[in-house]
Amino acid sequence: MNHNEYLVRAECPICAAPVAGSKLVIRSDPPAETLPFGSHGKFLSGYTSRRIFFSYARCPICEGLYCPVFFTQKQLDTLYAHQPENLVDVPLASRVATLRAYFDLLKQHSNLTGNYLELGPDIGVFAELCARDGRFSEFHLYEPNVEVHQVLTSRLAGQKLHISPASYVQGSLPASSLGVAIAIHVLDHLIDPATVLRALHQDLAPHGRLFLATHDEASLLARTLGRRWPPYTLQHPQLFSPKTISHLLERCGFRVIAAQKSLNYFPITLLMRASLNIFGIERWPNFMNFPWQVGLRLGNIATVAARV
């Protein structure tokens, strides 16, 4: 065992109950925590058949699902520094369709004014939708991947723009200054999501809105696929359900105003390939090259929350 090199949690990241009472529920063979750092293979494993991840345990108090042993922040920084663009396999048109559905939900609950913050905006597709339809004063984008900063700048041309490669922490922005705070597939990746949520709570204006997209470990797809469910990966120190994301948000001073199972759009061909990969079939017929897209409820939750 190489536990000493990894982060060993003392508390549940969702409710802060002691790890001691948690019960191991899902593990890979071999579990990542039994392998030395640097020997796990591909970090962003995605939709492939060979899956190595840190064992997930269930908290008996909040039912949160998390890894009691995980990479340290320093190890994560090393791994993320050498990654290609997220979701690079999924064509842009499909990603835009998915994000447009998220935007439609946000628009129902926000007047799209004040300052805009996004954690991990990637190439800025969602921020651009907000810039086009909203009347935001400033855009604060925290994007560790400097490779995409130029693209972000051109996508948000004409806006008052602040792009930072550093992590967002409490005190980065004036308190109560944000109209919206966006974190799309970010919370699942943070070792300590509560600290970031508390900082966002402080920086949101009284009528501000928090928008989150996270995987849903309680979804039918997750329960059906078991450990083959793609979000069980080395990147996710915890995974949420509608119940546990609400628990965490309430603990950090938020009130959930909408939580929806969201549609994710994929080209049919990619989906077929991913399905085959999940079940260990690495070869697929390549004569099917349809441009059709399908929207599927792939086990994601979109959550809108307000400051209490």
Judged by the rule CB under 5 A, the positions of this chain that interact with Zn ion are: 12, 14-15, 17, 59, 61-62, 64
Which position has the token pair 């944000």? 178
d(CA 66, CA 68) in angstroms, rounded, equals: 6
Residue of 25, 18, 32 lying closest to 56 (CA atoms): 25
Supply the minimum distance, in Å, between the C-beta of residue 201 and Zn ion.
Answer: 19
Sheet holding 238-239, edge to edge: 23-26, 56-58, 65-66, 238-239
Supply the minimum distance, in Å, between the C-beta of residue 305 and Zn ion.
Answer: 19
Supply the minimum distance, in Å, between the C-beta of residue 75 and Zn ion.
Answer: 24
Q: Which is nearer to Zn ion, 15 or 263 (CB)?
A: 15
Supply the minimum distance, in Å, between the C-beta of residue 274 and Zn ion.
Answer: 31
d(CA 93, CA 63) in angstroms, rounded, equals: 36
The answer to whether 242 touches 282, Cβ cutoff 8 Å, is no
Q: Which is nearer to Zn ion, 59 or 301 (CB)?
A: 59
Exposure string of 27-47, with b = 16+ CB inside 10 Å and e = fewer, is bbeebbbbbeeeebeeebbeb
CB neighbours of 154 closer than 8 A, spacing ≥ 6?
A: none
Q: Which is nearer to Zn ion, 142 or 254 (CB)?
A: 254
Supply the minimum distance, in Å, between the C-beta of residue 25 and Zn ion.
Answer: 13
Which position has the token pair 């723009």? 161
DSSP type of residue 266 = E
Supply the minimum distance, in Å, between the C-beta of residue 10 and Zn ion.
Answer: 12
d(CA 20, CA 35) in angstroms, rounded, equals: 22
Q: Which is nearer to Zn ion, 15 or 97 (CB)?
A: 15
